Structure 1
Amino acid sequence: MSDSKPPAERLRAILGAPGCQAMPCCFDGLSARLVEQAGFPVTFMSGFAVSAARAALPDTGLLSVTEMLEQGRSICDAVSIPVIGDGDTGHGNAANVHRTVTQFARAGFAGIMLEDQLAPKRCGHTGVKEVVDRGEAMRRIRAAVAARERGGDLVVVARTDARSALEAPLGSERALGEAIERLKAFADLGADVLFLEAPRNEAEMARCCREVPGVHMVNMLEDGITPLLPPARLAALGYRLAAYPLTLLSCAVHAMQAALSRLSTGQTPAHRVSFQALRDIVGFDAYDALLARYETGRGE
């Protein structure tokens, strides 16, 4: 039986639990359902993964808020676990951020991530060069918190890319310092979760959690900038949520390429789930049972 509590409330309960929760990221309803069936209590709609899976495009701000919302509704409808949505830069100024948060809440999300990059944004591990000034970044989070308090209840995940964007002009130490100051400001404004994107090492990760009180999230991107650490170590550093943004997508691409390679030589792929398993995952039996109820006049 699914929990009847609102998605944001269920997500806050997860964030309040001890330890660091691993959070595989999804890109469509099927991947979200697999996350849920594997026993994970929360997932995240990755902007990179949605851009790739929906349109075969890079994560450089090319998808509109409407496209992200359409994908998000499908994901939220497919699962009962809370889903955090990638809100990118909020898709405009503070007024746009306010509306984006409201729309994400109506779509069924439990949370939304908002970042301080200059639009069009890009994946934080592919060379971010520009962020808005601290005042504009704060206006975005202020608008998100206001929308949350006026009925668009979402867990607000406030992300900064200042560590990467400001490294060239300021140097690593000052860039990290500015990122930390931004996170402090976001926390003071009421952000629920704080997210320093692309720290370079454990020392930077530990410093961020030590100097900024609150709930912290980290990206665990294979072959990315941040070191991959097990959840126990992340918890020791101070993290509560570890997102794996591209694990499912990269594994799916690898499996599809291997299957296509086999098919190109006239062979049937050896590693696959059965047809029955696919039927079970998408709910054929539940569909047939529901149809039978209507055919006998019993309805739901």
Structure 2
Amino acid sequence: MGGQDRSACADKDAKSAINVATSGLFHPLVNGARKAARLRELLTSVPGLHQAPCCHDAISARMVEMAGFELSLMSGFCVSASRIGMPDCGVISYGENVEQASLIASAVSIPIIGDADTGFGNPVNVKRTVRGYMQAGVAGILIEDQVMPKACGHTKGKGVVSREEAVMRIRAAVDARDECDGDIVIVARSDARQAVSFEEALWRVQAFADAGADVVFIDALASVEEMKSFCRDVCPGTPKMANMLEGGGKTPILNPKELEEVGFKAVVYPLSLLAVSVRAMQNALQTLKKGEMPPPSVLPSFEEFKDIVGFNKYYAEEERYRIK
């Protein structure tokens, strides 16, 4: 079943299921298929550009949702950094990634796109990866065309697999989705702009869309004109994703209005939350090292922090079941 058919057949209450108020301790158990339906709706039917600040754990995903954003992407860079303290160079495993995806997806009601790097192997591995991410409850999965071990986006050492193997990865991902009683949005990424050429990247994302990808993404576009060409010249009707790498990457930084005018449907901000957290931790540690406490202006009160984590909801649940 194609993406349009899936969107048409999705539960009519998918949106209300995702947006339901989370008044209790536990978020409603909105399954991955219904979150995928909501993600499809956002990317194909809801006007405007959709911003997706990237998360890396349950609390960062919850902060994205609490801030009013309607989707998030689980950043491979940030998961690798926060979970194993290592760079995003293909060191982290499938098992570690899918477990993190499950923890994140279960903490929020908004759709989460899970970064799955290269799919962790050949097309058969890709199929297993897609199935695992579906079981984890994410709404979308991002598969790229790099060789293994991969390199981090916007860094040196990138290489891509052949055209044929790249397309086969996406075909395997689509087949894995279609062979299951469920749904997940397939986001196909090409790193060929940096590894080969812009023209090669355009060819690949068109082939990915032809193979059934729901969303396409070229990493490290080098100019606004390349961004416009990507949105204008290939796979019309297929949503395009932009990557605004904070702090200085290869792609020009545009604001949401400019990105929408170029033709993008979604934009991810991969490092904002973790990078700001790292800077805040550095500052706090320097303050503590001087024998002082971080000032109230830079941290929430204990009561506010407890509320964010869910203590008050926990206490309410505890009271419901107290034996009297």
Under a length normalisation based on structure 1, what TM-score does the superposition of the two structures give?
A: 0.94
Question: Residue 281 of structure 1 corresponds to which residue in structure 2?
Answer: 308
Does the 8 Å contact 1:128/1:164 carry over to 2? Answer: no
Corresponding residue to 1:217 among 241, 244, 248: 241
**2:232 is aligned with what amino acid?**
R
**2:233 is aligned with what amino acid?**
E
Bigger mean CA offset, 129-138 vs 11-20: 11-20
Does the 8 Å contact 2:131/2:177 carry over to 1? Answer: yes
Deviations 1:182-218 (A, max 9, x none): 0000011110000000000100100111111220001
CA distance, structure 1, for counterparts of residue 81 and residue 36 of structure 2: 27
SS of the aligned residue for 2:87 comes to coil
Q: 1:242-261 counterparts in 2 under 5 A? A: 242-261=267-286
CA distance, structure 1, for counterparts of residue 157 and residue 145 of structure 2: 11
Aligned residues: 289
Q: 1:22-61 counterparts in 2 under 5 A? A: 22-61=51-90
Q: Please report how far the alpha carbon of residue 296 of structure 1 lies from its aligned counterpart in structure 2 after TM superposition.
A: 3.9
% same residue: 51
Q: Please report how far the alpha carbon of residue 129 of structure 1 lies from its aligned counterpart in structure 2 after TM superposition.
A: 2.6
Deviations 1:18-71 (A, max 9, x none): 221111000000000000000000001000000011111000010100000111
User: Is 1:85 aligned to residue 114 of structure 2?
Assistant: yes
Does the 8 Å contact 1:147/1:153 carry over to 2? Answer: no
Q: Please report how far the alpha carbon of residue 128 of structure 1 lies from its aligned counterpart in structure 2 after TM superposition.
A: 4.1
CA distance, structure 2, for counterparts of residue 280 and residue 84 of structure 1: 26
Corresponding residue to 1:202 among 224, 237, 253: 224
Deviations 1:246-292 (A, max 9, x none): 11111000111011111111111111011011111111111111111
Deviations 1:64-94 (A, max 9, x none): 0000011111101110101000010000100
CA distance, structure 1, for counterparts of residue 125 and residue 115 of structure 2: 15
Corresponding residue to 1:8 among 36, 50, 71: 36
CA distance, structure 2, for counterparts of residue 261 and residue 139 of structure 1: 50
Question: Residue 207 of structure 2 corresponds to which residue in structure 1?
Answer: 185
User: Is 1:106 aligned to residue 135 of structure 2?
Assistant: yes
SS of the aligned residue for 1:70 comes to helix
Structure 1's consecutive aligned runs of 4 or more residues displaced over 2 angstroms after TM superposition are 1-5
Question: Residue 322 of structure 2 corresponds to which residue in structure 1?
Answer: 295
Does the 8 Å contact 1:128/1:161 carry over to 2? Answer: no
Corresponding residue to 2:183 among 150, 153, 158: 153
CA distance, structure 2, for counterparts of residue 163 and residue 234 of structure 1: 19
SS of the aligned residue for 1:22 comes to strand
Q: RMSD across aligned C-alpha pairs, in angstroms?
A: 1.2
SS of the aligned residue for 1:58 comes to coil
Question: Residue 234 of structure 1 corresponds to which residue in structure 2?
Answer: 259
Q: Which runs of 5+ in 2 are unaligned?
A: 1-15, 19-29
**1:138 is aligned with what amino acid?**
V
CA distance, structure 1, for counterparts of residue 169 and residue 128 of structure 2: 11
Bigger mean CA offset, 15-24 vs 78-87: 15-24
CA distance, structure 2, for counterparts of residue 82 and residue 22 of structure 1: 12
Question: Residue 134 of structure 1 corresponds to which residue in structure 2?
Answer: 163
CA distance, structure 2, for counterparts of residue 281 and residue 96 of structure 1: 38
SS of the aligned residue for 1:120 comes to coil
Does the 8 Å contact 1:200/1:227 carry over to 2? Answer: yes
**2:143 is aligned with what amino acid?**
L
Q: Please report how far the alpha carbon of residue 142 of structure 1 lies from its aligned counterpart in structure 2 after TM superposition.
A: 0.1
Question: Residue 26 of structure 2 corresponds to which residue in structure 1?
Answer: none
